[in-house]
Amino acid sequence: MFEPPRTPEAAPLDAVADAPRGNWVDSWAPAPTRPYLRLSRADRPIGTWLLYIPCLWAVVLAANIDGFRLLDLWLVLSCGAGAFLMRGAGCTWNDITDRDFDAAVARTKSRPIPSGQVSVSQALAWMVAQALAAALILFSYNWLAVGLGVASLALVAVYPFAKRFTWWPQVFLGLAFNWGAVLLWAAHSGTVPVAAVLLYASGIAWTLYYDTIYAHQDKEDDALIGVKSTARLFGKRSGAWLAGFLALAVLLMAAAVIVAIPAARGVWPMLLGLAGVWGFGLHMAWQMRGLDLDDPASCIVAFRANRDAGLIPVPFLAVAALV
């Protein structure tokens, strides 16, 4: 049975092992704020992007049905701030629940809680502060969106425990990280049509793709401490599974475009939207060409590249809504 170290070795206070070198938190943030910003992963913005991008998908695809509105400018700006805050709150909660596991893994033992920079009670207070700030944004939306936002808290709460009881924790991450596709569609139109659900499902498949890559960084440590993941489950078959998740993400997003656009916008805007979906898939296929799942450095490069992959459909769908 796993018994975490009682006194983990303290990490240097000027960096976290798995953060990009020279990030803005390490370089510019006032010293007293750094442990809290690191709890929020502000030194690693990729997670905020991956939470934000499905929100953008929803706004631009929904606009293909009934057009852009002034409200959409607020939705795009506010959900970016909300993604930063809720990702920060979620990561803080994750670090609270995983503090013993993190202390036993080389990549994570320098994080603020296991390294002793922040206490659990301080982390809890910081989590609540971020969640309350995000709630102020949420309550500016319509009541359907508010209800969906409150419902998402259950997914956020459960996710850190998923790797203890299932080999598929990436599914729980996908359910939580892509909820914005449904929430922002509801905030735009007051409805959750089939296209929004298909877009949400596409995001879940995308998360299974990128987070399986991410999990390969820790598969050896995870095996030692008994943490489950799709990376460990798939093993040598991971390449085939990744290709399957890639194809599923593309097909589901294409289905969302086909369901949403033709009746409202016609064939040419639909084809423009599908071109963006095709670019999304091509970028992920390009990532896999250079991916070595046994090399953590290769895994993190491919994982971070998904920001660019996810952004590709956005301008195509936005232009399709305007033509």
- CB-neighbour burial class of residue 288 (10 A; exposed 0-12, middle 13-18, buried 19+): middle
- CB-neighbour burial class of residue 147 (10 A; exposed 0-12, middle 13-18, buried 19+): middle
> What pLDDT score does 272 carry?
96
CA distance 174 to 182: 13
CA distance 310 to 56: 10
> What pLDDT score does 14 carry?
56
> What pLDDT score does 12 carry?
45
* Choice among 4-8, 54-58, 199-203 with the minimum mean pLDDT: 4-8
pLDDT tens string 270-316:
999 999 999 999 999 999 998 999 999 999 999 999 999 999 999 99
Strands (E), 119-274: none
Which DSSP string corresponds to 19-61? SPTT-HHHHHS-GGGHHHHHHTTTT-THHHHHHHHHHHHHHHH
* Choice among 20-34, 54-68, 180-194, 263-277 with the minimum mean pLDDT: 20-34
Q: CA–CA distance from 224 to each of 3, 76, 162 (Å)?
A: 11, 42, 17
Q: CA–CA distance from 189 to each of 195, 196, 272, 318 (Å)?
A: 12, 11, 22, 16
Domains along the sequence of the chain with CATH = 30-322 (1.10.357.140)
How many CB atoms sit inside 10 A of residue 30's CB?
Answer: 7
Which DSSP string corresponds to 123-150? HHHHHHHHHHHHHHHHTTS-HHHHHHHH
pLDDT tens string 40-78:
999 889 999 999 999 999 999 999 999 999 999 999 999
> What pLDDT score does 9 carry?
40
Mean pLDDT of 134-145: 97
Closest CA to 183 of 197, 168, 173, 169: 197
